[in-house]
Copies of this chain bind each other. A is one copy, B any other.
Amino acid sequence: MLSKIRKSIVFLSVFLISSSFAATKDLQQIMKDRGLTERDVLAAAKTYTPTGMKDEYYVFSSGGQSGQVLVYGVPSMRILKYIGVFTPEPWQGYGFDNESKKILESGYIRGQEIKWGDTHHPNFSEKNGEYVGDYLFINDKANPRVAVINLHDFETTQIVVNPVLRSTHGGSFVTPNTEYIVDAAQYAAPFENEWVPIEAYEEKYRGGVTLWKFDYDKGKINEKDSFTLELPPYMQDLSDAGKGVSMGWAFTNSFNSEMYTGGIEKGLPPFEAGMSRHDTDYMHVYNWQLLEKLAKNPKNTKIINNHRVVTIEAAVKAGALFLIPEPKSPHGVDVSPDGKYIVVGGKLDTHVSVYDFEKIKKLIDKKEFVGKDPFGIPILDMKKTLHGQLELGLGPLHNSYDKEEGIIYTSLYVDSQIVKWDYKNLKVLDRVNVHYNIGHLDTMEGKSSKPKGEYGIALNKLSIDRFLPVGPLHPQNHQLIDLQGDKMDLIYDMPIGLGEPHDVVSIHASKINPSKTYDKMGTNSRTGEVHEGATLAGQERIERDGNKVKVYMTAIRSHLNPEHITVKKGDEVTIYVTNLERATDETHAFGVSGLNVHASVEPGKTSSVTFKADQEGVFPYYCTEFCSALHLEMMGYLTVKDDKKEYPDYKAAKVAKMSPAELKKEYKKILATNKATDAVIQSVVKFLKEKGYEKYPEIKALVKDALNQYGKIKEEKAKANKAYKDGDLNTAILWENQIWQYMVKTADAGLRAKNLLVKELSTKMSKNARKGEEAYLRGGCNGCHVIGKVSSGPDLTGALLRHENAEEFLYKFILNPEEYYDNPYMDAMIKAFNLRMPNQNMKPKEVKNIIEYLKWIDENAHLNQ
A residues 716-772 with Cβ under 8 Å of B?
716, 719, 731, 733-735, 737-738, 740-741, 744, 747-748, 751-752
Task: Chain B residues near A46: list those with CB within 8 A.
Answer: 23, 25, 30, 34
**7 pairs from A and B in contact (CB 8 Å cutoff):** A22-B39, A23-B46, A43-B48, A67-B90, A79-B79, A195-B640, A269-B735
Task: Chain B residues near A499: list those with CB within 8 A.
Answer: 91
Q: Mark A484-497, 1 if CB is under 8 A from B, else 0.
A: 11110110011101
Q: A186 CB to closest chain B CB, in angstroms?
A: 7
A54, B116: Cβ atoms closer than 8 Å: no
Q: Mark A613-628, 1 if CB is under 8 A from B, else 0.
A: 0011111101011110
A272, B564: Cβ atoms closer than 8 Å: no
Task: Chain B residues near A113: list those with CB within 8 A.
Answer: 596
**Chain B residue nearest in CB terms to A203:** B653
A residues 460-492 with Cβ under 8 Å of B?
461-475, 479, 482, 484-487, 489-490
**Chain B residue nearest in CB terms to A50:** B40
User: Which one of A175-183, A307-315, A363-371, A644-652 contacts B?
Assistant: A644-652
A residues 255-280 with Cβ under 8 Å of B?
255-256, 259-260, 262-277
A residues 593-649 with Cβ under 8 Å of B?
593-596, 598, 600, 602-605, 615-620, 622, 624-627, 629-630, 632-637, 639-642, 645, 647
B741, A70: Cβ atoms closer than 8 Å: no
Among B51, B114, B413, B487, which residue has its beta carbon within 8 angstroms of that of A777?
Answer: B487
Cβ of A201 under 8 Å from chain B? yes
B36, A50: Cβ atoms closer than 8 Å: yes
User: Which one of A10-18, A317-325, A378-386, A400-408 contacts B?
Assistant: A10-18
Cβ of A698 under 8 Å from chain B? yes
Cβ of A28 under 8 Å from chain B? yes
Which of A48, A616, A650 gathers the greatest number of chain B CB atoms within 10 Å?
A48
A58 to B90, CA, bound (A): 25
Task: Chain B residues near A466: list those with CB within 8 A.
Answer: 51-52
Known A80-B470, A266-B564; contact A52-B435, beta-carbon cutoff 8 A: yes
Cβ of A190 under 8 Å from chain B? yes
Closest 10 CB pairs of A and B: A24-B485, A265-B562, A44-B48, A202-B653, A90-B116, A472-B602, A273-B738, A187-B620, A154-B471, A270-B559
A114, B514: Cβ atoms closer than 8 Å: no
B7, A497: Cβ atoms closer than 8 Å: no
Cβ of A860 under 8 Å from chain B? no
Q: Mark A406-417, 1 if CB is under 8 A from B, else 0.
A: 000000011110
Cβ of A237 under 8 Å from chain B? yes
Cβ of A102 under 8 Å from chain B? no
Q: A861 CB to closest chain B CB, in angstroms?
A: 20
A15 to B30, CA, bound (A): 14
Which of A52, A80, A202 gathers the greatest number of chain B CB atoms within 10 Å?
A80
A794 to B13, CA, bound (A): 45
A467, B563: Cβ atoms closer than 8 Å: no
Known A23-B489, A195-B647, A486-B24; contact A561-B265, beta-carbon cutoff 8 A: yes
Which of A260, A585, A617 gathers the greatest number of chain B CB atoms within 10 Å?
A585
Among B118, B153, B256, B470, which residue has its beta carbon within 8 angstroms of that of A81?
Answer: B470
Q: Mark A652-693, 1 if CB is under 8 A from B, else 0.
A: 110010000000000000000000000000000000000000
Cβ of A303 under 8 Å from chain B? no
Cβ of A158 under 8 Å from chain B? no
A166, B620: Cβ atoms closer than 8 Å: yes
Cβ of A298 under 8 Å from chain B? no
Cβ of A558 under 8 Å from chain B? yes
Known A39-B23, A263-B564; contact A472-B626, beta-carbon cutoff 8 A: no
Cβ of A189 under 8 Å from chain B? yes
Task: Chain B residues near A272: list those with CB within 8 A.
Answer: 558-559, 630, 633-634, 738, 741
A19, B48: Cβ atoms closer than 8 Å: no
Cβ of A235 under 8 Å from chain B? yes
Known A48-B48, A274-B734; contact A193-B615, beta-carbon cutoff 8 A: yes
B25, A38: Cβ atoms closer than 8 Å: no
A593, B271: Cβ atoms closer than 8 Å: no
Among B11, B36, B427, B632, which residue has its beta carbon within 8 angstroms of that of A255?
Answer: B632
Cβ of A339 under 8 Å from chain B? no
Task: Chain B residues near A200: list those with CB within 8 A.
Answer: 650-653
Cβ of A587 under 8 Å from chain B? yes
Cβ of A115 under 8 Å from chain B? yes
Q: A544 CB to closest chain B CB, in angstroms?
A: 14
**Chain B residue nearest in CB terms to A57:** B468
Task: Chain B residues near A38: list those with CB within 8 A.
Answer: 15-16, 18-20
Task: Chain B residues near A529: list those with CB within 8 A.
Answer: none
B73, A468: Cβ atoms closer than 8 Å: yes
Task: Chain B residues near A55: list those with CB within 8 A.
Answer: 467-468
